[in-house]
Structure 1
């Protein structure tokens, strides 16, 4: 296990675009997000593909890998954050400078398609990575939701604690708006978490975006699932048929025979195809009576606000008291 140093106000945060060119297709949201983090006291350093677009991606595979490696090799940068996800972050995995990360561990944070990088880096180096906000997608949102996301960012990434108990946000949203014309906060819903199980389950947190994991499954960039792991999975903008396929894939791979519990995040704009079934309903059908404790509705996903989750550290789900907490260090001292 390798732990990056805790972040301090005033540190440099480098941002990169490993897949979709969000700095190009959402310039207003990008500008708002950058200004937000700068107001919090951080210095933002742009990756070399900022403002660049090659249709569906920010640049070629080699150019995107080089953008990330430049930030990895810069000793002044203490946190590297993706601008957004997309579909092709897994293309970068053979070209990342893993040795530089071992020598100078940094906080790597993002979500969605960046799951491939978070898990690949963890698998290759043992570096704890963080499923958390992306610059444009997360910090371009309006208050109060963006403030709650930032508070989780501070709680996890600027702390030297070795334990942390998550608190459920009172409200959440997955309402779709035009990013470039949005000028007010999104409508919100009352929040609810569900704990299906009993007793305490302790294990290593592993996972991220389920659809993205399919792009590295079976490769050396997908960490081996260990007995007793806590599997965190979430998805976005998928139909129920795709979700069933993804869950069935996990079952076929024997994942449900190994893990101790599942954390199932909220699914942004889930399409139930008129069935009135939820992702939880689909998971329970695929499990087919198999005993599996499930924590449902966790807000480390595509919705707002977003809570930060370290990958590779020990956590505990107390189903009786409905508590989810981290129980081992995820950062070294500042």
Structure 2
């Protein structure tokens, strides 16, 4: 295991665009996000593809890989954050400078399509990575949601605790508004986590965005699922038929024969195609009686606020007390 150093105010956070060109199609949100993190005492270092677009992506495969590698090789940058996700981060995996990360471990954070990078870096180096906010998508949001996201960022990345108990946000949202014209907070809903199971389960947490995982499945960039692991999965903007296929894929690969528990995050704007069913309903049907405890609705996903989830650390879930905790360290002191 390799642990990055805890972040502190005054540190440099580099941002990069491994897939979609959010710095081009959402300049107002980018500016708001940068100002927000700078107001919290961090210095931002922009990636070389900031302001660049190649239609559906920020640049060519090699250009995107080089943008990331420059930040990896920059000793002053202590945290590397994606601007947003997309669909093609897996194209970068053969070209990442994994050796430089082994020599100078730093915080790598993002979500959605960035799952491919987080899991590949963890698989290739043993470096703990972080499923968490992206610059434009997350920190460009308005208060109070952005404040709650930042608090989780602060709690996880700027501390050196050996354990941490997650607290469920009281309110959440997946309302979709036009980013460049949004000028006020989104409406929010009362929150609820469902703990389906009994007793306590403890294991290594592994996973991320389920649709992205399919793009690295079976490769050396996908960490092997071990017996007793806690599988963390979430998705966004998918129809129920796609979600069923994704869950059935995991079943066919024997994943559900190994894991000790499942954490299923909220699904942003899930399309139930008129069935009235939830992603949880689909998962339970696919499991077909397999006795795997499930935590449903965890807020480390495409919705706001977003909690930070370290990949590769020990997690415990007490289904009787309805508590989820990190049980091993995820960063080291400077």
Q: TM-score range by the shorter chain?
A: over 0.9
Whole-angstrom CA distance in 2 between matches of 1:31 and 1:239? 32
Residue in 1 aligned with 2:38? 38
- Deviation track 1:20-66 (CA, whole Å, cap 9, x = no partner) reads 00000001000000100000000000000000000000000000000
Whole-angstrom CA distance in 1 between matches of 2:285 and 2:246? 13
Please state how far the C-alpha of 1:315 moved relative to its aligned partner.
Answer: 0.5
Residue in 1 aligned with 2:215? 215
Whole-angstrom CA distance in 2 between matches of 1:115 and 1:108? 11
Residue in 2 aligned with 1:168? 168
Please state how far the C-alpha of 1:195 moved relative to its aligned partner.
Answer: 0.1
Matches within 5 A, 1:49-128: 49-128=49-128
Please state how far the C-alpha of 1:203 moved relative to its aligned partner.
Answer: 0.1
- Deviation track 1:104-155 (CA, whole Å, cap 9, x = no partner) reads 0000000000000000000000000000000000000000000000000000
Residue in 1 aligned with 2:23? 23
How many residues were matched structurally?
Answer: 334
Please state how far the C-alpha of 1:95 moved relative to its aligned partner.
Answer: 0.1
Whole-angstrom CA distance in 2 between matches of 1:209 and 1:331? 23
Q: Secondary structure at the match of 2:130?
A: strand
Residue in 2 aligned with 1:315? 315
Q: Secondary structure at the match of 2:242?
A: helix
Give the TM-score normalised by structure 2: 1.00
- Deviation track 1:138-192 (CA, whole Å, cap 9, x = no partner) reads 0000000000000000000000101000000000000000000000000000000
Task: Indicate whether 1:136 and 2:129 are aligned.
Answer: no
Please state how far the C-alpha of 1:199 moved relative to its aligned partner.
Answer: 0.4
- Deviation track 1:178-217 (CA, whole Å, cap 9, x = no partner) reads 0000000000000000000000000000000000000000
Gaps of 5+ in 1: none
Gaps of 5+ in 2: none
Q: Secondary structure at the match of 2:231?
A: strand
Q: Secondary structure at the match of 2:271?
A: coil
Please state how far the C-alpha of 1:260 moved relative to its aligned partner.
Answer: 0.1
Residue in 2 aligned with 1:6? 6
Whole-angstrom CA distance in 2 between matches of 1:118 and 1:219? 14
Whole-angstrom CA distance in 2 between matches of 1:111 and 1:329? 21
Return structure 1 stretches of 4+ with deviation > 3 angstroms.
none
Whole-angstrom CA distance in 2 between matches of 1:19 and 1:32? 21
